[in-house]
Structure 1
Amino acid sequence: MFPDVIETDRLRLRRFDRETVDALDLYEYAAKTDSIDEETRYVTWEPHATPKESWDFLRQMEEAWDDAKNATYAVFPKEGEERAGEFAGNTGLGVDWDKRKATLGVWLRRPFWGRGYSGERATALVELGFDVLDLDYVTVCHAVDNEQSRRAIEKYVDRLGGQRDGIVRNRYVSEKTGEGVDEYQYSISQEQWHEVTGGERTATFRWD
């Protein structure tokens, strides 16, 4: 269903599984970095407490991929970029086939912030959602107080012809606090995307 590799100008996205990312390496990134609390402040998962948790996380992503529910990719800067080939985080599309829409998600490690990678991978995933999966909508959300994500999301959503829909109350319950988190939701329709981009691809997709 999903391409195994997506290439953009500066990034290579590869299926997020135990062949692409070793569980022990993921544990080092997701549990022991100095910036992990800052990196995971607005994500829905907790920093990993054990290597087994990282292994289980990868296995869950594999199962969701095989069930065509979630296309999650490991992000790597390409040759010519600073820290080329290093694991920069993960990103993906959670697909709701009944509603013909998908939701974007991303976690980038702190050393890779501020490079425009979020917008570049989002553009590629929107192309995947519309040009390959033929969905009607792609949505993305951010916590109401997450100004950094707001700036990045508004920039690429506007560029791709989308809009801000409004606030979704208690979109999810935080594992850290047990409280509901309010988020702004944005959406891009396939029609809006075609009107702005002409359906032109900026990414290449490969099924290995």
Structure 2
Amino acid sequence: MLFPEEIETDRLRLRRLSHETVDAIEYYRLCSRHEPGIEDVTAYLPWDPHETVKETHDYLDELEAKWEAGTRAEYVIRPKSGEDGAGEIAGAGGLVLDWERQTAKPAIWLRKRFWGRGYGGERAAAMLELAFDRLDVPLVAVPVEDGNERSRRAVEKYVEAHGGQYDGVVRNSTVRPDGRVVDHHRYTVTREQYRASVGTA
């Protein structure tokens, strides 16, 4: 198995996101306009709120196919016992692998009620460990859409903590779901920077 089925951090339990681990209808409700604050959650994400249960079902199919192909490891995030909302789905996060470019890209979304707890950085540390220690990827790149200052602050914090750097702005980096072309700020951590930061050879 290329990716671990489960990952634990101090406060979080990450489990492979699939039809087996979540109910498609429950997950749809969290990814749709039924979820309070979903418009704020998806404002800078590469997807809009889901419109139908079928859309969520097909999305889970897609994630399962990418998992099997070794191009994306996606995990449902749940706080551990002792945390507010323990056991609930707080969001999802994972790692997108571009083996040709020898680069991994972390991704995350969290329900609004779970913002401000540092879960993003905790999950990021786990994804860096997965990328560098298990998969031996040479580079992790983190794109942040221009204007998303909240995410930039969070990314800067964990990238700096792991020896990484800010590379600059990538113009016309991607197309949003609504058709807008947007810029991204690019942050990177190399395998060598990461290992120096955690004290491994």
Q: Are the counterparts in 1 of residues 167 and 187 from structure 2 also a CA contact under 8 Å?
A: yes
Identical pairs, percent: 48
Give 1:101's aligned residue. 103
Instruction: Identify the match of residue 90 of structure 2 among 80, 88, 91.
Output: 88
Q: CA deviation at 1:199?
A: 3.3
Distance in 2 (alpha carbons) for counterparts of 1:196 and 1:36? 35
Q: Are the counterparts in 2 of residues 77 and 85 from structure 1 also a CA contact under 8 Å?
A: yes
Give 1:140's aligned residue. 142
Distance in 1 (alpha carbons) for counterparts of 2:199 and 2:73? 24
Instruction: Identify the match of residue 60 of structure 1 among 56, 62, 65.
Output: 62
Q: Which runs of 5+ in 2 are unaligned?
A: none
RMSD: 1.0
Instruction: Identify the match of residue 111 of structure 1 among 104, 110, 113.
Output: 113
Q: CA deviation at 1:157?
A: 0.4
- Write the deviation string for residues 84-126 of structure 1: whole angstroms up to 9, x where unpaired: 0100111111101122110111111101100000000000000
Q: Are the counterparts in 2 of residues 157 and 163 from structure 1 also a CA contact under 8 Å?
A: yes
Distance in 1 (alpha carbons) for counterparts of 2:66 and 2:52? 22
Distance in 2 (alpha carbons) for counterparts of 1:154 and 1:64? 28
Give the residue type in structure 2 aligned to 1:132.
R
Q: Which runs of 5+ in 1 are unaligned?
A: 201-208
Q: CA deviation at 1:3?
A: 0.3
Give 2:28's aligned residue. 27
Paired residues in the alignment total 199
Higher normalized contact order (CA 8 Å, seq sep 6+, divided by chain length): 1
- Write the deviation string for residues 126-153 of structure 1: whole angstroms up to 9, x where unpaired: 0000000000001111111111001100
Give 2:196's aligned residue. 195
- Write the deviation string for residues 5-42 of structure 1: whole angstroms up to 9, x where unpaired: 00000001000101111110011101111211000000
Secondary structure of 1:152's partner?
A: helix
Distance in 2 (alpha carbons) for counterparts of 1:198 and 1:65? 30
Distance in 1 (alpha carbons) for counterparts of 2:91 and 2:163? 26
Instruction: Identify the match of residue 172 of structure 1 among 166, 171, 174.
Output: 174
Does the alignment pair 1:77 with 2:85?
Answer: no
Distance in 2 (alpha carbons) for counterparts of 1:141 and 1:158? 15
Q: Are the counterparts in 1 of residues 24 and 53 from structure 2 also a CA contact under 8 Å?
A: yes
Distance in 2 (alpha carbons) for counterparts of 1:15 and 1:193? 24
Q: CA deviation at 1:171?
A: 1.7
Q: CA deviation at 1:179?
A: 1.4
Give the residue type in structure 1 aligned to 2:55.
E
Distance in 2 (alpha carbons) for counterparts of 1:8 and 1:199? 19
